[in-house]
Each structure stands twice: as structure tokens, then as C-alpha cells.
Amino acid sequence: MASGRVLDAKQFLGGADNVINIELLPEQTQSFTYSFGANVSAYSFNADFSCVNVDLLTYNVADGAPNYASSNVTGYFANIDGSGGSKVSVANAYIDTSDVNNGNVTFTIPPNRYPASGFITPNARTNIVLTIAEFTWSDGSTPARVDSHRYAIVERFSPDRLPGDPTANTNPANFTSIVST
């Protein structure tokens, strides 16, 4: 259990049953199609994401899945949309609602979630950039029923990125620590 203001990664993510873990290069995208089984044209769909730093990341030997049992969220990165906050709303272009009458909606995790100028450590097991993306839907009833899926995206180093410690003061991605000293 984390002490002070630092959340362990499991607390931040909401538990293993509430999140889909994937690893992507920052410029990659991945799509997920949701089949609701009925017309969902009255539903509303939204998505957003934020980038945080995780101090340590290990992997489950049996299945290779990330294991956040010993991980702590130590801070966050300024968002890439320039609004100054730590959360970025996803453009509607990444939520395909063209087949809502048949109950199908496709959410695409957008590229460039972490600033292109930001540091990423190659082959990192410490100071990991983790993007948390959330896809949310509401059924339009009163009161509205809202549900969501969260994606924990381990941002991996690619040759297009600058190698370095993402928590360094010199990182152009503007890391803000939440660890009190």
C-alpha cells in the first residue's frame, strides 16, 4: 500500500478486472469494436486520456502481462492539447458510430498520446510512461446509465523518440511529481 499522496498503480487503475493492458509505441493506434447487441443510436460516446509515470513495472512470468503490484504512480505529464491540464479529450474521429443502428461502435486509441518531444527510456522497467485512456458511453435514459472501459497503455520507446528519463527536469514533456519529499 502506498503512503502519503502516492497511489500504487493498482489503486490508480481501478484493479485488474477494470482495465485492458496493452503496450504500444507512442505513434501506434489500436481499435476495439464494441457490439452492444441492439440499436445504440440514442447513446452518447466519449473518450479521454492522461499520461502518468509509474516508478517500477514488472511482468507476470506465466502470461507476460504487466504486474502493477509493486508499482506506484509518481507523477503526471502535461497534456498535448495545450490546455494546461493533465487530461486530453479524444476527438470524435476516433469514435466510429457509423454502425450504431446495428449496435456496433469502434473506439480507436489515438496516436501520439505522449508528446513527441518527451523522453522515453529504451527497454524501461523503471520510470514508465503509462497512458490511461477511457472510453465511456451513456444510454441516454433518465437517470443516465454510464459505463466505461479503461486501457492502460505502456508507452514503449521507438527510434522516433528521444531516449532519456521521463522524470528528468530537462524532459520537454513537463513531468509533475506527486511524491512529497
**pLDDT tens track for 103-124:** 999 999 999 898 888 899 887 7
Percent pLDDT > 70 in the chain is: 85
Alpha carbon distance, N-terminus to C-terminus of the chain: 18
Nearest in space to 16 (alpha carbons), one of 71, 73, 59, 66: 66
Cell representation of residue 122: 529504451
Please provide the average confidence, as pLDDT, over all residues in the chain.
Answer: 85
Give residue 84's region: left, alpha or beta (phi > 0; psi -120 to 50): left
Nearest in space to 121 (alpha carbons), one of 159, 156, 146: 156
Convert 21-52 to b/e letters by CB count within 10 Å (16 or more is b): bbebebebeeeeeeeeeeebeebebbbebbbb
CB-based contact 96:102 (threshold 8 Å):
no
Global pTM? 0.84
Kindly tell me if the per-residue pLDDT of 80 is higher than 80.
no
